[in-house]
Amino acid sequence: MKTTYSILVIGLASLAATSCNTIGNGPEQAREASERHPISVDQQTVTMTIAVDPSLNELSNVDKARLRSLIHTYTAKGHGPITVTAPSGSSGGDVIGQEVAADVRKELHALGLNWSQIEGATYRVSAAAESMDVVVSFSNYVATPSACGDWGGEVTNRFLNRPSNNFGCATQNNLAVMISDPRDLVAPQDFDAPDAGRRDTVIDLYRAGEATSSATESNEESTSDL
């Protein structure tokens, strides 16, 4: 009788363990938060238009301020060249449009861009067009998180020890909002060129048998909580 009872207990324990492995969790529950709540990263084009005004000999202060704001965004999140597109095809307006586009390129260079970062292009307008714009544009990336708030199946998930449908969703949404450049979610940034001068200095110190680390100020103290 005792043996039968022991076999019954072992059998129930095995059945419970099997149920936990097959019913409670599976491949779907093994997915990470980034897979359950993915962040969509899309490329978009940022544009700014500058009106071609024949009465002006140079860019207005307002247009220059708008270009400074645009360059701030481009420096932080822009990728690829910045394109200055001038109008073409109008009656007598081509020359003025090209002059405004040239002024824009000069202003961009004065704001810190290399000439290699600036490209030129043209677009066709009607011969009878009364107004024209020079278009300044560049590409950047936008991160869009998945929506949270799916509370379905909570009773079943808790009974089977499964994660909530919203598990990790808030973290993914916070990451999408806080990341400086969403392109970092697609591919890592390139490393900057190594400091050849510092490298040569360290090698020379090593060969001379001297300390290769930076000098420490005499008033610096090291503290520890241990």
Sequence-ordered list of residues with C-beta below 8 angstroms from that of 53, at least 6 positions apart, any chain: 60, 100
Whether 80 contacts 139, CB under 8 Å: yes
Token representation of residue 43: 């490329």
Q: Are 136 and 48 in contact (CB under 8 A)?
A: yes
Q: How far apart are CA 152 and CA 162, in angstroms?
A: 13
What SS3 state is found at 53? coil
pTM of the entire predicted model: 0.62
Residue 24 near residue 156 (C-beta atoms within 8 A)? no
The residue segments making up the domain with residue 140 are: 29-209
Query: What's the token pair of residue 157?
Result: 């998930």
Which stretches in the chain have pLDDT values below 70?
A: 1-25, 29, 90-93, 128-130, 215-226
Q: How far apart are CA 36 and CA 24, in angstroms?
A: 18
- What is Dmax (Cα atoms) for the chain? 108
Strand 39-51 relative to strand 133-145, pairing: antiparallel
CATH number of the domain that 60 lies in? 3.30.1330.60
pLDDT of res. 19:
47
Calculate the alpha carbon distances from 60 to 107, 121, 193 in Å. 11, 22, 38
- In the beta sheet, which residues pair with residue 140? 44
Which residue has tokens 């020359």?
A: 95
Q: Which two tokens stand for residue 109?
A: 């260079």
Q: What angle do CA 195, 200, 205 make, to 5 degrees?
A: 130
**The pLDDT value given to residue 96:** 85
Query: Is 225 a member of any domain?
Result: no
Contact 46, 134 (CB under 8 A): no
Question: What number of other Cβ atoms are within 10 A of residue 32's Cβ?
Answer: 8
Smallest CA-to-CA distance from 49 within 105, 109, 132 is with: 132
Answer yes or no: is 13 within a domain.
no
- The two beta strands, 79-88 and 118-124, are parallel
* 62 phi/psi in degrees, rounded to 5: -65, -45
pLDDT of residue 5: 52
Number of domains in the chain: 1
Q: Is residue 138 part of a domain?
A: yes
Q: Is residue 220 part of a domain?
A: no
223 belongs to a structural domain = no
